[in-house]
């Protein structure tokens, strides 16, 4: 065997695993079927602006070890994510906080806001939330649910809110303070120079082959290494033999505009049901850009079908059950480690992917 590890996928999970294994003196080969590294965090320069080609990625974490870890590979700026919601031309602050409540109801104090939420929650009869709709109403009441959550969520997931798991909406903080910071995270920022450079630094000194599709050449590639770290979709690995796991995919329409400022913010969410896109990203604002032009991406959400890039696992009961069956199957693949958003079918944030790769790699290497 020429390599100790064949790592399938040059995204964050694969790059962290590769870096750690190499540090321990292992021989590592990384492959990716795309023609670039960095998976969905890939950034590409246009007009001097780092464009997040597969959607906005804002690094945020409460995990100091992970924060120190990524800071070895990039210097992070002080970007704070504060998306704006556009509901039929009305603008609201996100996440849900005193600015949002003031604009929605004219309330001035936290007590007034809390009372308004409580009143709407009671009128809706929300008790033990069993789905996203009930969870949302019990967190912020019906007005915010109708204007800022329902349309956006149903476009994003292509399913009624009553059929979606409650945990998705719990990703968003609700605050009775004037704080537009989208994340409850101690550490937050964007790697200066872009994510591609950060991942490239992780992969320094490691052999990477691009445009190589593992599942198409599995037999040959498996001969190259003792162990395989597979970060692709777990159902694809098994030829979908137990059924197809559902994902949401995303399509971007990216435009260069001959003006310095299009929307004054990195992210504007279109929360009505009629606008076909979910959000518009203006990439320069991730890095406080001063370029004369600007680059924007409209983001359209769609159901994943064969040939598309999978983005979001649909972690509802049906898919979770099917995933558990694939997971069982994966346990008999003794040479293979399954990891990452697609390999573990989990709605992972970047920091959680890194923590998971570090842990798995340390267990594997007996550290």
Question: Residue 144 is encoded by which pair of tokens?
Answer: 């915010």
Sheet holding 294-303, edge to edge: 90-93, 84-87, 267-270, 279-282, 294-303, 247-257, 312-313
Query: Residues 144-161, buried b or exposed e (16+ Cβ, 10 A)?
Result: bbebbbbbbbbbbbebeb
**Measured from the CB atom, is 162 or 218 closer to ligand UDP?**
162
Interacting stretch for ligand UDP, rule CB under 6 A, among 33-41, 144-152, 200-208, 214-222?
144-152
CA distance 272 to 279: 11
Q: Of 177, 300, 326, 172, whose CA–CA distance to 244 is shortest?
A: 326
**Measured from the CB atom, is 152 or 286 closer to ligand UDP?**
152
Site string for ligand UDP, 305-344 (x = CB under 6 A): ----------------------------------------
Q: Of 305, 321, 311, whose CA–CA distance to 342 is shortest?
A: 311
Please identify which residue in 149, 203, 322, 357 interacts with ligand UDP, judged by CB under 6 A: 149
Q: Of 209, 175, 201, 262, whose CA–CA distance to 70 is shortest?
A: 201
Q: Which helix (H) or strand (E) holds 282?
A: strand 279-282
CA distance 192 to 211: 27
Asked whether 185 and 67 are in contact (CB, 8 A), the reply is no
85 binds ligand UDP (CB under 6 A): yes
Asked whether 129 and 121 are in contact (CB, 8 A), the reply is no
**Measured from the CB atom, is 19 or 279 closer to ligand UDP?**
279
Interacting stretch for ligand UDP, rule CB under 6 A, among 2-10, 150-158, 211-219, 258-266?
150-158
214 binds ligand UDP (CB under 6 A): no
172 binds ligand UDP (CB under 6 A): yes
Please identify which residue in 156, 180, 294, 297 interacts with ligand UDP, judged by CB under 6 A: 156
φ, ψ of residue 59 in degrees (nearest 5): -75, 130
CA-angle at 138, arms to 136 and 139, nearest 5°: 65
Please identify which residue in 148, 229, 233, 358 interacts with ligand UDP, judged by CB under 6 A: 148
275 binds ligand UDP (CB under 6 A): no
168 binds ligand UDP (CB under 6 A): yes
152 binds ligand UDP (CB under 6 A): yes
Site string for ligand UDP, 104-143 (x = CB under 6 A): ----------------------------------------
298 catalytic? Reply is no
Q: How far is the CB of 272 from ligand UDP (least distance, A)?
A: 11
347 catalytic? Reply is yes
Handedness of CA 100, 106, 110, 113 (dihedral sign): negative
**Measured from the CB atom, is 171 or 328 closer to ligand UDP?**
171
248 catalytic? Reply is yes
The residues binding ligand UDP (CB under 6 A) are: 85, 94, 148-149, 152-153, 156, 168-169, 171-172, 269, 271
Q: Kindly list the catalytic residues.
A: 171, 175, 248, 279, 299, 347, 349
């Amino acid at each position: 065997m020429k390599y100790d590890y064949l790592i399938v996928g040059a995204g964050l999970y694969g790059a962290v695993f590769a870096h750690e294994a190499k540090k321990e003196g292992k021989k590592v080969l990384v492959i990716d079927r795309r023609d670039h590294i960095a998976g969905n965090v890939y950034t590409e320069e246009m007009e001097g602006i780092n464009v997040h080609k597969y959607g906005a990625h804002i690094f945020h974490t409460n995990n100091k070890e992970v924060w120190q870890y990524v800071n070895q590979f990039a210097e992070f700026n002080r970007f704070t994510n504060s998306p704006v919601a556009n509901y039929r031309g009305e603008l609201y602050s996100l996440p849900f906080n005193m600015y949002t409540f003031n604009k929605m109801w004219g309330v001035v104090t936290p007590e007034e806001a809390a009372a308004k939420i409580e009143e709407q929650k009671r009128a809706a009869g929300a008790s033990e939330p069993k789905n996203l709709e009930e969870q949302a109403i019990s967190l912020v009441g019906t007005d915010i649910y109708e204007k800022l959550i329902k349309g956006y969520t149903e476009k994003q997931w292509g399913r009624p809110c009553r059929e979606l798991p409650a945990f998705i909406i719990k990703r968003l903080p609700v605050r009775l303070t004037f704080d537009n910071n989208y994340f409850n995270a101690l550490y937050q920022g964007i790697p200066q120079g872009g994510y591609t450079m950060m991942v490239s630094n992780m992969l320094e000194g490691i052999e990477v082959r691009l445009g190589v599709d593992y599942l198409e050449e599995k037999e040959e590639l498996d001969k190259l290494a003792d162990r395989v770290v597979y970060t692709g979709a777990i159902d694809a690995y098994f030829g979908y033999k137990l059924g197809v796991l559902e994902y949401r995919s995303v399509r971007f329409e990216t435009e260069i505009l001959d003006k310095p400022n299009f929307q004054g913010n990195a992210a504007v969410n279109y929360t009505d049901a009629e606008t076909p896109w979910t959000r518009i990203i203006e990439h320069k604002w991730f890095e406080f850009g001063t370029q004369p032009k600007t680059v924007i991406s409209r983001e359209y959400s769609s159901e994943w079908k064969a040939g598309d890039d999978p983005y979001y696992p649909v972690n509802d009961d049906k898919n979770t059950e099917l995933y558990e069956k694939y997971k069982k199957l994966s346990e008999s693949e003794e040479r293979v480690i399954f990891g990452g958003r697609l390999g573990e079918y989990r709605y992972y944030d970047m920091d959680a992917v890194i923590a998971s790769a570090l842990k798995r790699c340390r267990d594997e290497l007996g550290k």
